[in-house]
Amino acid sequence: MIRIGLIGAGFIGRNHFNQYEKLGQRAKVVALCDKEPQRRAGDWSGVGGNIADAQGTKRDLGDTKQYAEWRDLLADPAVQMVDICVPTYLHPEISIAALDAGKHVLCEKPMALSVEECDKVLRAAVKAKGRFMIAQCIRFWPECVYLKQAIDDRRFGKLKALSLRRQASTPTYSLNNWILDPKLSGGAILDLHVHDTDWALHLLGTPQTITAQICEREGSPDRVHSLWYYRPDLVVQIEGFWDMPPAFGFNMGFTARFEKAAVMFELSSGKPLTVFKEDGSTETPAMGPNDGYYNEIDYFLGCIERGAGPTISTPGESREAVRMALLEKESAKSGQTVRV
């Protein structure tokens, strides 16, 4: 049984708590930290987010210890693994302190707001005795895993074109709206779109060049459209924005055109991932039962149990996801294509 200390009981912290309950044979949240008394006591009635979470909003936390200060949680010897679900600007400081304290660490994406800060975290991870992973849930999302396998095993031939999209209404649910302050969240590019910079790296590796355009609102990037160049016979475009009107909600999707088929997934359509074949037929392959949040935590617990670092989502790759997003900003600012 791995004993968890969860820091941050907001939108994603509540989600992770629910995953640990499902994984109750292997993990237990023994300590919970949030600077808001109501939240650390398990009253999550004011917590919102961009993906519906059907689990209850008021929870009986039983014997889970409650902490107002994350440093006190780190000093608790009962905690073996720390799960960091606080606003992004706090990720590097808490990750480094938790690693230095000898804990295993799962930290929400993105790793940090700059490459320099990512490198500080990486240096702490290299000398740490605990395992470390950034929670890049998309790498573990069933439809995304399917696409990765289809690209790797070439079941539909070579990939010719790929479009990745992540689209949302302007977020209004984070505590005190920290998410809309680019100094705290990095704006849509480092909060939302970084999922896809990470995923594109996972699917295809490092591109040769990036060309991007970004729209800003009050100094915060809230829309990015990007072209990643790999080779002349592959087009990769990625779009991410949170400037949509309130009723839009959230969508993530992709279209992958292979030589012998196209694969499409659009979360908001409610339709399953569909393979469109050249003979006019379609297929809807069965997907695994759990979402990426469950799968990433299941995987990281497995890493700890096996005594091995993650290989699906390595800290170095999470650093690269941040670097690519920042290169997109550089391209948009200069109006030029940037070499990677």
Site residues (vs ligand NAD, CB under 6 A): 7-13, 33-36, 39, 47, 49, 70, 85-88, 90, 108-109, 135, 137, 174-175, 191
Minimum distance, C-beta of residue 194 to ligand NAD, in the bound complex (Å): 8
When the beta carbons of 257 and 323 are compared against ligand NAD, the nearer one is 323
Q: Cβ of residue 94: shortest distance to ligand NAD, in angstroms?
A: 8
User: Hey, how many other C-beta atoms are within 10 angstroms of the C-beta on 310?
Assistant: 22
Q: Which is nearer to ligand NAD, 121 or 159 (CB)?
A: 121
Residue with Cβ nearer ligand NAD (17 or 258): 17
Closer residue to ligand NAD (CB): 182 or 207: 182
The radius of gyration of the chain's CA atoms, rounded to the nearest angstrom, is 20
Shortest Å distance, C-beta 16 to ligand NAD:
9
Q: What tokens appear for 242 in the block?
A: 């949170």
Shortest distance, CB of residue 208 to ligand NAD, whole angstroms? 28
For ligand NAD, give the closer residue by CB, 148 or 257: 148
Closest CA to 210 of 333, 327, 335: 327
The CB-nearest residue to ligand NAD is 10
Q: How far apart are CA 164 and CA 324, in angstroms?
A: 15
Considering the complex, what minimum distance in angstroms separates the CB of residue 124 from ligand NAD?
A: 18
Q: Which is closer to ligand NAD, CB of 187 or CB of 207?
A: 187
Shortest distance in whole angstroms from residue 12 CB to ligand NAD: 4
**For ligand NAD, the closer CB: 135 or 162:** 135
Min dist CB 295 to ligand NAD, Å, is: 12
| Residue closer to ligand NAD (CB basis): 174 or 211 | 174
CB of 155 to ligand NAD, least distance (A): 28
User: How many whole angstroms separate alpha carbon 4 and alpha carbon 263?
Assistant: 38
